[in-house]
Amino acid sequence: MRGSPLARLALALYVLLVVYASLYPLAGWRNHGLSPFEFLLAPWPRYVAAFDVAADVLGYAAFGVLAALAAHPRLRPAAVIAAATLAGLALSTCLEAAQTYLPSRVPSLVDVLANGFGALCGALIGLAAAPWTGALHGWRARYFLPGVQADLALALLALWVFMQLNPATLLFGSGDLRVLLPSAPGPARAPEFFVAIETLTTAGNLAAVGLLASCVALPRAPVRAMAMLLLATALAVKTLAFAIILRAEQVLAWLTPGALQGLVAGIAILLIALSLPRVARLALAAMLLMAATVLVNLSPPNPYLAATLAVWRQGHFLHFNGLTRLVSSLWPFAAMGLLIMLAARRRDEALL
């Protein structure tokens, strides 16, 4: 009757992502002397953008699904629907009120209503899907270690797939703090230099992610097949991002020579390293993550990537891409922290 710990963890992470996306770019705060809830009494806007309404509904539908799965089966179905909908409305109202102090954001009652409707739809979907989550829980118990650390690893792997939605990053490139901290442009480099950087970055992160997944998998789990499925999902998401955000002819623009070489090298490293003992896999994953992160931050900005993205106009995706950039920047540091936790757990088990 406790429900799914993984669903509660996913809900908490999703709320953090929603808060950041709603308040992005988190700059220019000022008090206009108005009540933060003044927008609730404002006249109905003359124009309502269908894209914005759809985005609000879809964004909070995911919130409603996770809220329903987190509350089920502790609450009765009617209580689950009411709790998820009211929680979505409360979260949306608070965030819209906070947008009053951001000059780049405009709070709106339309957004609150769309978000509440999305939370309601998501709660209904979550309740309908709840009986089918038993198979997912069975898969989780069959192939992964029990405990919160494995749940954290699965959440991080989901975030790793999610951050591939940003077309402005190199393939699997993460940990770039230069998007958060200002830096001077580097010297001019030959194309071969950036090909080498992308190759090493792609290969290191790919192998590290696969090793992280293997470190929370049970010995009987088909880790090689699972790693390839995770890789295929990430590449599909990357392709989808380019198809939606960029022009149709740019759908495979991410498959540069450096990315292709990195994929081949990373898969080879991963398949060989999966035969190592778990302690060695933990250490190797941490080393590869650290090396790839340092490499990303020390290399100069890639002008060839900038040329590819010259056709990109962020528009409606501005705040969403800010969110994916944040996740991409912080992800390797969270993953390294988890690897340290897993290594400490291994040491404690050996001492018992």
pLDDT tens digits for range 146-204: 888 999 999 999 999 999 988 777 889 888 887 666 655 666 677 788 889 899 999 99
The two three-digit tokens of residue 140, written as one number = 């989780």
* pLDDT of 3: 60
| Integer Cα distance of 118 and 4 in angstroms | 22
pLDDT tens digits for range 233-251: 999 999 988 887 766 667 8
314 pLDDT above the threshold of 60: no
Rounded alpha-carbon distances, angstroms, from residue 336 to 44, 100, 289, 324: 48, 37, 7, 19
Q: Would you say 212 and 342 are in contact if contact means Cβ atoms under 8 Å apart?
A: no
pLDDT tens digits for range 102-147: 887 888 999 999 999 999 999 999 999 887 777 777 888 899 998 8
Q: Would you say 259 and 171 are in contact if contact means Cβ atoms under 8 Å apart?
A: yes
- Mean pLDDT of all residues in the chain? 85
For residue 121, give the nearest of 194, 27, 54 by alpha carbon. 54
What pTM value is reported for the model? Answer: 0.83
Rounded to an integer, the average pLDDT of 19-38 is 84
| Integer Cα distance of 187 and 179 in angstroms | 18
* pLDDT of 188: 65
10 pLDDT above the threshold of 80: yes
For residue 258, give the nearest of 322, 312, 206, 214 by alpha carbon. 206
